[in-house]
Chain A
Amino acid sequence: MKVPQFIHLLGSPPWFYRISGQLMPVLGLLACALLIVAWVWGLGFAPEDAKQGNSYRIIYLHVPTAVIALAGYYVMAFTGLVYLVWRIQLMALMLKSAALIGAAMTFLALFSGAVWGKPTWGTWWVWDARITSMLILFFLYLGVLGIINAFSGSKTSQQAGVKAASILALVGTVNIPIIYKSVDWWFSLHQPATLKLTGKSNIDGSMLTPLLIAIVGCYVFYAFMLLWRTRIELQSSEHNKQWLRDAVSKK
């Protein structure tokens, strides 16, 4: 199969190391700027919610992390696919990083949701469709991490582990929409829709703008973290290579 130029370059660790080194400061500063603007705006200047008062402001953390948690799964599955098809070692490292960051984001979304639920619904946990899907997504991430950890040891074993994790991630990709729809159907049968979180239609523009900035900021932050984690994984897996020594000593 003819491989696009971009994928070829991704197969070269020195290229990735150089480019990610240049990109990271840009992404890091951009993420900081966007998140500071969004959170200062959202926490300090956006209007108070008529029903929930100030407690709704956790939305500026909750929704972006939830969005990233779901998108991160697809990033992970995509790296897994590229790894299975083209056997690019860098993708194996990126899959590991994506699994870890994704799991952390999912946890953060669940945790902030629970904190939000306490003042709003009067309880830490509700078996609502979105929360349940999120919990299952968290388990899927843990499964991928668990597989990677279980295949520790020799280099061939680790590679087999990443292959296993890639296959699992791909099967999970097919399953996520099915799980999401089933859970949604199940709970719409049992519970009134009033327990749904703030829908897109009923959020005011003055609250929406900082939310959108926070989501974009979170995406940039995710990209930054992904490059950073992958660099660390690269440094530990290629620690005895000459190019890495050269790159580090050049600094």
Chain B
Amino acid sequence: MINAPMIFSIAAAFKAHVKAESLLRWRHKSDILQPLLFFVLVLSLFPIAINAPSQELARLAPGILWVIVLLASLFSAEHLFRDDLGDGSLSAQLLSVQPLSVYVVAKLSVHVAFVVVPLALASPIMALMLHMPGSGVPVLILSVLIGGVSLSMIAAFGAALTVSVHQRSMLLALITLPLYVPVLIFASSAIQSNIDGTFPTMQLLILMSFALLSAALLPWAISAALKLSVENK
């Protein structure tokens, strides 16, 4: 017999969502490795395709790394809401007394912890493989951590809009990638600027403001998109 109080507080609901979502992620450990594997796979294609001396690769490295981060975040977000829509737990969320954005923020916090953080931690190795100067590495990690928040939010927005649609991959990319552009610009320029010798305070602050802006506003848009996806199912 479950003795649940009639109305959870928002904090309690948030905690419960985070716990359930983390457990789910933890039980599918291979899903945690997938973005990393994707990262290495795509990365290894560049030296093969470009076939340039290492200093040439090093010059392209910030841009290449960040394009792969974008793609990894895009593909890892594609299935974010698919299972919840399929098994009806999303419909149950809509009936809950808590606003849907609590569920969205909880789910995305876990997503950031399980996808963005590993990507950020793995990025120095990837930078090494592309011979990127070591001075760029701390900013690379920082930019992936900060920029990853906006990327996850934007990708989740695209995923929420397209979750009830068949053949969504292309559509998801079409919706998401244009919105990624500002993050890509400031992140890769931050790394380049640190390699060139100036600490990119401005770029990192702008990335931070993108992260805060998207974390504050996009959960509403994601919730609205999820509602209509449930209606459309």
Instruction: List the interface of chain A (C-beta within 8 A of B).
Output: 84, 136, 139-140, 142-143, 146-147, 150-151, 156-157, 160-161, 163-164, 167-168, 170-172, 174-175, 178-179, 182-183, 185-186, 189
Contacts and interface: CB of A to CB of B under 8 A. Distances in A.
A179 B150 CA distance: 14
The 10 A-B residue pairs with the shortest CB-CB distance, nearest first, are A160-B232, A182-B182, A139-B178, A143-B175, A150-B165, A160-B228, A163-B228, A186-B185, A182-B185, A136-B178
- Tell me which of B168, B189, B210 has the highest count of chain A C-beta atoms within 10 A of its own C-beta: B189
Nearest to A137: B178
Given A167-B225, A182-B186, A189-B189, A143 B164 contact: no
B182 A139 contact: no
Contact of A171 (B157, B170, B174, B186): B157
Given A147-B161, A189-B189, A156 B174 contact: no
A160 B228 CA distance: 6
B179 A171 contact: yes
Interface in B157-173: 157, 161-162, 164-168, 170-171
B224 to A, nearest CB: 5
A147 B175 contact: yes
Nearest to B170: A146
B211 to A, nearest CB: 13
A170 B182 CA distance: 17
Contact of B161 (A139, A167, A185, A186): A167
B125 interface: no
Contacts, number: 76
28 contacts: A136-B178, A140-B178, A143-B174, A143-B175, A146-B175, A147-B161, A147-B175, A150-B167, A157-B232, A160-B231, A161-B232, A164-B161, A164-B225, A167-B225, A170-B221, A171-B157, A171-B221, A175-B179, A175-B182, A178-B210, A179-B178, A179-B179, A179-B181, A179-B182, A182-B181, A183-B181, A185-B185, A186-B185
Interface in B186-231: 186, 189, 210, 217-218, 221, 224-225, 228-229, 231
A182 B209 CA distance: 13
Contacts of B174: 139, 142-143, 146
Given A168-B161, A186-B189, A147 B182 contact: no
B13 interface: no
Nearest to A190: B189
B177 interface: yes
Contacts of A156: 231-232
B221 A150 contact: no
Interface of B: 157, 161-162, 164-168, 170-171, 174-175, 177-179, 181-182, 185-186, 189, 210, 217-218, 221, 224-225, 228-229, 231-232
* Secondary structure type dominating chain A contacts: helix
Given A143-B174, A164-B229, A167-B221, 18 more contacts: A84-B224, A139-B178, A147-B161, A151-B232, A160-B228, A160-B231, A163-B224, A163-B228, A164-B228, A168-B175, A170-B221, A171-B179, A171-B221, A175-B178, A178-B210, A179-B178, A182-B181, A189-B189
Contacts of A146: 170-171, 174-175
Contacts of B185: 182-183, 185-186
Contacts of B175: 143, 146-147, 168
Given A167-B224, A168-B161, A150 B171 contact: yes
B218 A171 contact: yes
- Tell me which of A142, A164, A168, A175 has the highest count of chain B C-beta atoms within 10 A of its own C-beta: A164
B184 to A, nearest CB: 9
Given A139-B177, A163-B228, A182-B186, A150 B162 contact: yes
Nearest to B206: A182
Contacts of A142: 174
